[in-house]
Amino acid sequence: MVDVRKIIRANMRALTDWFGCYDAVAETINARWGMVSGGGGASKGTISKKVSAVLDWTVNDVIAIEDAVGRYPVTRLLARRLEHRAPVNSCSLLANSASIAKESGEAIAAILSAEQSSEADDYAQAIKEIDDAISDMRRARAQLEVRLEGGAE
C-alpha cells in the first residue's frame, strides 16, 4: 500500500522549493491566516521541521501554500482517494429521513447562532451543518432516483 504521507511530504517539499526560502513559506502561511510568527503562526524552524518530516503539514498549511503557488497537487491527491471508493449503500429511506431531520435541525440551530454572532467560527460551523444536511438530502435523492429508474414503488 502506498504511504500517502510520503507523497504529501514530497509534494509539499516541491511547493516550498518554489518560494526559495523557509521564511517566505512561513510568512505566506501567516499572511493567509492573519497570524504572526512567534504568536502561534508558522516560523522558519517550523517549516524546516515539516519539510524534514519531523512535523506533519496541516490542512491550513496546504491550503495557504497551494493557493499561493497556484498548483494543487495535495488537494488533487486527496480528491483522487474518492474516485475508487465504492458507493455508499444507505440503509433505508426511513433512516435517511431521520438523518435529514437531525442534520437540518442542527443546521437551523447553527444558522440562528451565527445570525446572533459576529464570530467567523460560528459562520463556519453553520456552513458545515448546512453541508451535512445537503449531503444527507442528496443521498436520499439518489436512492429515490435509483428506485424510480428501477421501477420500484
| Closest C-alpha among 41, 46, 45 to residue 30 | 41
Q: Which residue has the higher pLDDT, 64 or 94?
A: 64
CA distance 59 to 15: 14
DSSP 86: P
Q: Which residues contact 98 (CB under 8 A, 6 or more apart)?
A: none
pLDDT recorded at residue 91: 66
Note if the pTM is more than 0.75. no
**Least trusted range by pLDDT, from 57-61, 90-94, 149-153:** 149-153
Confidence band for 153, pLDDT divided at 50, 70 and 90: very low
Mean pLDDT, residues 12-33: 94
